Structure 1
Amino acid sequence: MPNSATQTPPASQSNAKINASQRIPVVQIATPSAKIHVREQKGVFQRLRQHSNTLLIALFFLLPFINYQGRQAILFDVTEQQFFFFNLTLWPQDFTVLAWFFMAAAFALFFVTVYWGRVWCGFLCPQTAWTFIYMWIEANIEGNHHHRAALDKAPWSISKLRKRLTKHALWIVFALLTGCGFISYFMPARELYMDIFTASSGFWTGAWVWFFAICTYLNAGWMREMMCLHCCPYSRFQAVMFDANTKTVSYDAARGESRGPRKRAQKTELGDCVDCNLCVDVCPTGIDIRNGLQYECINCGACVDACNQTMEKFGYAPNLISFTSENALKSQPQASVFSLKGLGYASALLIMISLIIIDLSQLSHIQLNVIRDRQTLYREVGVDRVENSYQLKIRNKTQQAAVYQIAVRSNKTPSLTIVTDTVVQINPGEQLDYPVTVSGRRSERVDDTSQQTLQFSVTQINSVANSTPVEPENQVTQQSRFFWP
């Protein structure tokens, strides 16, 4: 029998000694196997999220169907190694522009995070958008969060089997559409959808579509919050961008504690939090925002809308949970808008944008590569002439057929001329291997050196009959060597 000195007092006596203002909230951590049934919520931030997600998904599916000058406007043509973006064509050697673009997007994300936290995750992240689409499908088939939880616990029946089969069938269809939508940026969209849904696509095309379809089905249908909690690296390093002025979804503990249930219009010494637990029920990652800032929070604002509705019912002031900063909660003055961290990310963003502009302005629409004939350095023709042979690889990097004028120039021997035809026409995206013979007079050699530098130039002109250059910058040059006996 235990010693009476070690016995604990009854629960009623123990609770009586604890003042309501000293209550410590209990943190309930869901087990990894527990499924989160998110409660449906309406409100300002949920409407904003729905509109932004709808726009994102619509753009994702519709952009590949936009045509420009008879071609898909946005297309990563892996086979031809070209990236088409309306009238811009990028080749592998031009992909530094894409590198600057992705770096600029990263710094823009970091800049926004400094001031607004993880608003990208809550309102624009594809994982969030697709997860809410799958949750919407699930809610329309299986009912609200109470019905879904009850269905999970219910024994298998014809009704349960029918609902589950219908839900997963629609999930798979939407996943397949998503796979087609992603691959349509790499293949012509209209042919791709037709081939996939008529089962006439090639093996690798179908394999890639189904690969991304399966990824979508697993991520948005099964993993959901696990992607945000365990797989997304952004949630792990986001805290280094936060400071005391970063606006995140936060709970005003000074106003809300001590929390506790009460009736409407009832006078109480408790804080404004009525402990309804709605902020937990509507959270897509299943956290309790009242426990403070947590890396799992994606700043979707669902708990803000839920809490504001409750505050309105009880006649309390709104924004017990709101988008606010640590300094604002402590009633401390806000620091300057231009923080050192924000200025750093803004400077990096401006540098990336400048590099994109510079690269695009210096982008050449012609590619030229000159290869000398390695077998024969020169040929003597007649008494006074010497010829050298070259292979010119000229690529038309535009999306229209173009006519080009080939020329050669040398400061030492002005009489160097091209024997072959100097005007060529090249189709869009085509590379022309064009043999060229350059001839020079031996009597006009300036010195006795066996070789000299010459320069080939290729200029886009209006037509075969009109040799006026289209634009001065549509010209490319490359140096080579001319050999003498």
Structure 2
Amino acid sequence: MMPTNSASTGPAIAPATGGNATGWLGLRVQRWRQLTQAGFFLLFIFAPVFDIFRLDLNVKHFIFFGLDWTLGLDDFLAGRATAVQASINIVLRGFLPLVAGAGTLIYVSWKWGRLYCGWLCPHFSIVETINQTLRRAIGKQSLWDAKRMPSRNPDGSETKHDAIWWFAVVPLVIFCAVLWAVVLLTYLLPPAEIYGNIWHGTLTRNQSIFLGVATLAFFVEFMFARHLFCRYACAVGFFQSLAWMGNDKAMVVGFKRERAKDCSTCFSACDHVCPMRLNPRNVKRMMFACVQCGQCVDACDQTQADNPNGSLLNWVHDLRAESEAAFNVRAARTIMITPVDAGKKE
């Protein structure tokens, strides 16, 4: 599910206000996002089980939808194919699929931002789940947040913190770490072998070492550095952000700075709901790690539901997005596109 928008009114799938923005089939946009995340998470877990995609170290090549995906060099090494035929196989089976996949991801990122991160990525699904559970334990979505979040939610409900939730946080992080370690190993070795060895307690020495080290690494990352990983260590996210930053007219969350005083009636709800711990009212370059989840937009819709002028945050692109691409807030305020100006430029 991909957010779509217009230059003047924001997302076409979310025209409503008051936190009831709806999308296809009448479901809320955030519900669609949860469904796409859940679906991709299940795909991530079961893709190796059903041989949809994995790298089998035993046979030393990829398996794609049950078929061996090789570069087709066996015939060349056996003297049954020429160097030209081998070169063609490398291009068709290796280079072109890589370029097509990377190109698609870069184009989507250039036009709409880090949609993969916010709408599909299984790691980010875990980040958000741990965020909300940790909030119930300490009132913060991250151990590194300077202050506790308000107990009040944008929709008016309350989420109060209680230390007893630590009994949920720690087991959740351990479970996620173990799950990721096991799933990643099934991408490298036959899933039936791995799950069978776990069930019967017959893991090999190397398999045990891999699972132990990977589980420890994921536990540390999920507990202490999950946001830092998404911002600085994830190559997929980093290159999506670079592509997005390279397009001044790409879809972005726009802030109506001329109405900034209306924020005084709010408790900075947009800041608090952001799972990446960003300030959505800032200019685009300060939102480098934005994952386009839209939770800040929904929060503003809810807190400004009684404001006749509507919310202050909305999806913008093209001419409206150029203001958000300014170097700083002062410059952004000077790039005001009126309907007349927009008509002239278009």
TM-score per shorter chain, which class? 0.5 to 0.7
- Residue among 306, 324, 328 paired with 2:316: 324
SS at match of 2:306: helix
- Counterpart check, 1:201 vs 2:180: no
Structure 1 counterpart of 2:59: 80
Q: SS where residue 171 of structure 1 aligns?
A: helix
- Pair 1:142-2:133 in alignment: no
1:260 and 1:88 map into 2 onto residues whose CA distance is 56
Q: Which of 28, 43, 64 pairs up with 1:59?
A: 43
Q: Which residue of 2 aligns with 1:257?
A: 260
Q: CA deviation at 1:260?
A: 4.8
Q: Measure the CA separation in 1 of the matches of 2:131 and 2:105.
A: 26
Structure 2 stretches lacking a partner, 5+ long: 1-18, 22-27, 74-88, 150-161, 322-336
In the other structure, the counterpart of 1:380 is none
SS, match of residue 178 in structure 1: helix
1:99–1:302 CA distance, 2 compared to 1 (3 A): same
CA contact (8 A) 2:106 2:239 kept: no
Report how far residue 193 of structure 1 moved: 2.0
Instruction: Report the 3-state secondary structure (helix = DSSP H, G, I; strand = E; otherwise coil) of the residue aligned with 1:76.
Output: strand
Percentage of matched positions with identical amino acids = 21
Q: Indicate yes or no: 2:238 matched with 1:242.
A: no
SS at match of 2:47: helix
- Structure 1 residue identity aligned to 2:107: F
Deviation at 1:287, TM superposition (A): 2.1
For residue 172 of structure 1, report the CA deviation from its aligned partner. 1.1
Contact 2:54 2:63 in 1 (8 A): yes
Root-mean-square deviation (Å): 3.2
SS in 2 for 1:53: helix
Give 1:48 deviation, angstroms: 2.6
- TM alignment of 1:72-471, pairs within 5 A: 72=51, 74-91=53-70, 93=73, 97-138=93-134, 142=137, 145=140, 160=163, 163-232=165-234, 233-234=238-239, 237-243=242-248, 245-254=249-258, 256-261=259-264, 274-293=265-284, 294=286, 295-318=288-311, 320-325=312-317, 327-328=319-320, 330-331=337-338, 332-333=342-343
- Distance change in 2, residues 1:259/1:116 (3 Å): same
Please say if residues 118 and 291 of structure 2, whose CA atoms lie closer than 8 Å, have aligned partners that are also in contact. yes
How far 1:240 sits from its partner (Å)? 4.6
Report the equivalent of 2:14: none
1:278 CA displacement = 0.3
Contact 1:73 1:84 in 2 (8 A): yes
Q: Distance in 2 between matches of 1:165 and 1:235?
A: 36
- For 2:31, the equivalent position in structure 1 comes to 47
The amino acid that maps onto 1:288 is N
The SS at the match of 2:310 is coil
Shift in CA distance, 170/328, structure 1 to aligned 2, threshold 3 Å: closer
Q: Count the aligned residue pairs.
A: 266
Q: 1:225 to 1:235 in 2, by over 3 A?
A: farther
Deviation of 1:165 after TM superposition, in Å, equals 4.8
Which is richer in strand? 1
The amino acid that maps onto 1:283 is C
Give the deviation of 1:204 after TM superposition: 1.2
The 1:213/1:259 distance shift into structure 2, 3 A limit, reads: same
| Cα 1:292/1:126, change in 2 over 3 Å | same
Corresponding residue SS for 2:261: coil
CA distance in 2, matches of 1:89, 1:310: 53
Write the letter of the residue equivalent to 1:284.
P
- Per the TM alignment, residue 108 of structure 1 is displaced from its structure 2 partner at its CA by 0.8
CA distance in 2, matches of 1:111, 1:125: 17
State the Cα distance separating 1:303 from its structure 2 match.
Answer: 0.3
Q: 1:259 to 1:87 in 2, by over 3 A?
A: closer
Q: Is this contact kept in 1: 2:110–2:244, CA < 8 A? A: no
2: distance between equivalents of 1:202 and 1:176? 17
Displacement after TM superposition at 1:120 (Å): 2.3
Partner SS for 2:110? helix
Q: TM-score, normalised by structure 2?
A: 0.66
TM-aligned CA deviation for residue 184 of structure 1: 1.1
**Residues 248-303 of structure 1 deviation map (CA, whole Å, 9 limit, x = unaligned):** 1121213x233453xxxxxxxxxxxx343001010122222222212132221110
Distance in 2, Cα, partners of 1:237 & 1:73: 30
Pair member with larger Rg: 1
Q: CA deviation at 1:308?
A: 0.7
Asked whether the equivalents of residues 117 and 242 of structure 1 are also in contact (C-alpha less than 8 Å), the reply is: no
Residue 227 to residue 333, structure 1, CA distance change in 2 (3 Å): farther
Structure number having the greater helix percentage: 2
How far, CA to CA, are the matches of 1:197 and 1:334 in structure 2?
Answer: 68
Alpha-carbon distance, 1:315 to partner = 4.1
The answer to whether the 8 Å contact 2:231/2:289 transfers is yes
Contact 2:126/2:176 (8 A) holds in 1: no
Structure-1 residue corresponding to 2:158: none
Native 8 Å contact 1:178 1:213 kept in 2: yes
The verdict on how the C-alpha distance between 1:334 and 1:324 changes in structure 2, with shifts beyond 3 A counting, is farther
Deviation (angstroms), 1:176: 0.9
Q: 8 Å contact 2:180–2:218 — kept in the other structure? A: yes
Mapped partners of 1:290, 1:282: distance in 2: 13
Residue 123 of structure 1 contacts residue 300 of structure 1 at CA under 8 Å; is this kept in 2?
yes
For each residue in 1:53-97, what CA deviation from the matched residue of structure 2 results, as whole angstroms up to 9, or x when unmatched?
10111111122232xxxxx55442212223322353223536652
